């Protein structure tokens, strides 16, 4: 089951409905007032990346053939990593790499192929000090990302005016919303793959930090291939035939209530394609059976700190990760009760890839 990226005006009247707490406290689902927009424009370091809620929608994307650029790459990565100033530092032994001294805006096609291979192997790669790439602007950044797959449109939340492929994560203040959220939630963590409900979900995903707190606001990634390997052979054999039902229904319904718009091909590793946001059931299992198995698998992934990596953000950092073999969660710890959240402004570009391949 899949809910497409088609965006439609809300069909549920909201005047007499108590607004629910935020579905994901990181993301604004509604446009701000004109007065608030003027304030944000005045203080934002990258005002052209502030979220816009244009009433646009898209037809479902027909199936397409995807050729992973990593499969064309030179395994030595000699083009990507040429230059004496380039420094690689692993976040953990198993996953995550920081690359310093590399300017993403200068990469040719061969280097992009090798980058795709590196991301597939290390799951998440961070590039600090990418001021040149950010200065390229949205049009050039979108063209750069299109090399890795077809454009994805987020079905809810804000994007950049005229650039609907950008998914904008922007928080500045929102004291009352934070208080409401944490009055009902014990944590801000929401472990997920980005838009896994698509028929061909994103493979390579880019995050760019435009502005963020000096401390906090990290993003944690978990490797779902390693999580699968940690299970016993008998348990793996039991879950191999099971297919999860991915749907955006919960997110869409939340947005309507608010009144808003609504096998790994490179590494050949088996992964647990499950998350805590977009799964509504397992084919062939009753809901109580699905709940018990889902809770076990998600707890296994979330508590597996020995196959996780944590990105510590700095402004002008670009992160590219493999959405097919990881789960991730943003950490909302950059606020206080008096002032609300400190500014945190990120854009996301997602490149859609192949249809997920069942292992059975």
| 195-228 pLDDT per residue, tens | 888 889 999 999 999 999 999 999 999 999 999 9
For the segment 45-63, the average pLDDT, to the nearest whole number, is 84
How far apart are the C-alpha atoms of 167 and 27, rounded to whole Å?
A: 9
Q: Is the pLDDT of residue 340 over 90?
A: no
pLDDT at 293: 95
Pairing outcome for strands 326-330 and 97-100 = unpaired
The strand pairing partners of 347, in sequence order, are 168, 208
pLDDT at 11: 43
For the segment 62-77, the average pLDDT, to the nearest whole number, is 96
Domain of 320, in residue numbers: 34-57+68-352
Which contacts of 26-31 are long-range, i.e. CB under 8 A and separated by 24 or more positions? 26/169, 26/171, 26/188, 26/330, 26/332, 26/344, 27/157, 27/169, 28/157, 28/158, 28/170, 28/171, 28/174, 29/156, 29/157, 29/254, 29/255, 29/258, 29/260, 30/258, 30/259, 30/260, 31/158
- 24 in a structural domain: no
Q: Is the pLDDT of residue 31 over 70?
A: no
Asked if 80 contacts 111 with a C-beta cutoff of 8 angstroms, the reply is: yes
For the segment 33-50, the average pLDDT, to the nearest whole number, is 83
Higher pLDDT, 103 or 280: 103
Higher pLDDT, 275 or 104: 104
Q: Is the pLDDT of residue 106 over 50?
A: yes
Asked if 104 contacts 130 with a C-beta cutoff of 8 angstroms, the reply is: yes
Q: Is the pLDDT of residue 2 over 60?
A: no
Higher pLDDT, 115 or 44: 115
Tell me the CATH number at 159. Answer: 3.60.130.10
Q: Is the pLDDT of residue 4 over 50?
A: no
pLDDT at 249: 56
- 244 in a structural domain: yes
Least confident interval from 54-68, 115-129, 305-319: 54-68
- 10 in a structural domain: no
How far apart are the C-alpha atoms of 46 and 67, rounded to whole Å?
A: 34
For the segment 296-322, the average pLDDT, to the nearest whole number, is 96
Question: What mean pLDDT is reported for the chain?
Answer: 86
For the segment 95-118, the average pLDDT, to the nearest whole number, is 98
Say which DSSP state 341 is in: E
- 28 in a structural domain: no
Residues 6+ apart with CB under 8 A from 182: 188
Number of domains observed in the structure of the chain? 1
Least confident interval from 26-40, 142-156, 335-349: 26-40
- 270 in a structural domain: yes
- 1 in a structural domain: no
Q: Is the pLDDT of residue 18 over 80?
A: no
pLDDT at 135: 95
- 23 in a structural domain: no
pLDDT at 35: 78
The H-or-E segment that residue 348 falls in is strand 340-352
- 147 in a structural domain: yes
For 26, 273, 314, the CA distances from 242, given in Å and listed in that order, are 31, 10, 40
For the segment 234-262, the average pLDDT, to the nearest whole number, is 68
The H-or-E segment that residue 169 falls in is strand 167-173
How far apart are the C-alpha atoms of 350 and 111, rounded to whole Å?
A: 19
How far apart are the C-alpha atoms of 209 and 216, rounded to whole Å?
A: 13
Least confident interval from 186-200, 206-220, 236-250, 338-352: 236-250
Count of residues making up the chain:
360
pLDDT at 136: 96
Higher pLDDT, 247 or 230: 230
Q: Is the pLDDT of residue 339 over 70?
A: yes
pLDDT at 39: 79
Other CB atoms within 10 Å distance of the CB of residue 251: 23
Asked if 312 contacts 208 with a C-beta cutoff of 8 angstroms, the reply is: no
Torsion of CA 62, 68, 69, 72, to 10 degrees: -130
């Amino acid at each position: 089951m899949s809910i497409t990226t088609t965006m439609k005006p809300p069909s549920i009247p909201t005047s007499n409905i108590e607004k629910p707490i935020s579905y994901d406290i990181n993301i604004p689902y509604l446009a701000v007032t004109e007065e608030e927009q003027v304030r944000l424009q005045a203080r934002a370091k990258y005002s052209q990346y502030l979220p816009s809620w244009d009433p646009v929608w898209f037809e479902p994307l027909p199936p397409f053939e995807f050729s992973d650029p990593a499969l064309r790459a030179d395994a030595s990565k000699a083009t990507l990593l040429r230059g004496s100033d380039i420094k690689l530092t692993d976040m953990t032994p198993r996953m995550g790499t920081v690359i310093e001294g590399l300017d993403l805006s200068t990469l040719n096609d061969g280097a992009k192929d090798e980058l795709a291979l590196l991301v597939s192997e290390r799951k998440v790669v961070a590039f600090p000090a990418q001021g040149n790439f950010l200065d390229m602007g949205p049009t050039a950044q979108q063209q750069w990302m299109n090399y890795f797959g077809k454009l994805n449109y987020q079905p809810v939340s804000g994007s950049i005016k005229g650039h609907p492929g950008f998914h904008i994560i922007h928080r500045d203040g929102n004291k009352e919303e934070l208080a409401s959220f944490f009055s009902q939630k014990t944590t801000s963590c929401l472990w997920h793959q980005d838009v896994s409900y698509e028929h061909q979900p994103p493979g390579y995903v880019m995050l760019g930090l435009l502005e963020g707190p000096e401390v906090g606001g990290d993003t944690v990634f978990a490797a779902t291939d390693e999580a699968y390997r940690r299970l016993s052979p008998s348990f793996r054999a039991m879950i191999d035939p099971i297919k999860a039902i991915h749907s955006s229904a919960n997110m869409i319904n939340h947005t309507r209530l608010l009144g808003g718009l609504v096998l790994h091909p490179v590494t050949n590793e088996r992964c647990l394609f499950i998350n805590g946001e977009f799964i509504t059931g397992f084919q062939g299992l009753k809901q109580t059976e699905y709940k018990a198995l889902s809770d076990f698998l998600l707890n296994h992934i979330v508590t597996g700190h020995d196959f996780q990596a944590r990105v510590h953000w700095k402004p002008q950092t670009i992160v590219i990760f493999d959405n097919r073999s990881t789960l991730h969660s943003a950490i909302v710890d950059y606020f206080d009760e008096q002032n609300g959240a400190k500014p945190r402004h990120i854009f996301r570009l997602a490149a859609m890839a192949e249809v997920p391949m069942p292992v059975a």
